Amino acid sequence: MSIGDAFRSYRKENDMTQQEFSEIVPLDRTGLSKIEADKKKAPKDIMRIAAIALDDPRIALAAQAEVTGGACPPWLSKADLHKTTVHLKALEEIEEAFEAMKSTPITKRKDQLEMKDIHRIKNTIMECVEAITALTHYVAILCKEYTISWIGVWKEHRQELKEKKYLN
């Protein structure tokens, strides 16, 4: 999902015009129209402001994808995102990642690895990425369903990591 798609999706879900959206996010209606049509890239500061002001996981993930070139979980706009479905899928993906991790030859040095070991490591990485995507959607859907701030969850998580001395 592009940032333009995320903006448009948010607006439509909240019955907002482009003008109303541009009153929250400092962007003129014409600029917003071009971003939504993918004719113009959204400036990084606008993506940041929108992600914080609107507190919407889709916008945050679309902004992250834009900035990183896609090195983050994509928003699964064509998946069944009902909370029960997402819950069950997250459990399934966690189990698959857990099983893959148990069979990964992590104790071997790189020079000891055989081709089959490298394939198992790559498989484990992919299973973990699938679990990350599923868990990201799970958290996003629960935040939305129960009106819990997406931004607030991540702020709280960072604070906990700082208290545990994992972050500066």
| Same domain, residue pair 64 and 106 | no
Task: pLDDT band for 138, please (50, 70, 90 cuts).
Answer: very high
User: Global pTM?
Assistant: 0.92
59: closest CA among 125, 114, 8, 113? Answer: 8
| Same domain, residue pair 87 and 139 | yes
Give yes or no for a contact between 139 and 75, defined as CB atoms under 8 angstroms apart: no
Residues, the chain: 168
Residue 143 sits in which domain range?
83-163
Q: What is the mean pLDDT of residues 62-84?
A: 96
| Same domain, residue pair 94 and 146 | yes
Span 14-33, pLDDT tens digits:
999 999 999 999 999 999 99
Q: Tell me if 126 is assigned to some domain.
A: yes
Helices (H), the chain: 3-13, 18-24, 29-36, 44-54, 57-68, 83-102, 115-145, 150-163
Q: What is the mean pLDDT of residues 70-88?
A: 97
Q: Tell me if 77 is assigned to some domain.
A: no
Domain end residue (candidates: 41, 68, 95):
68
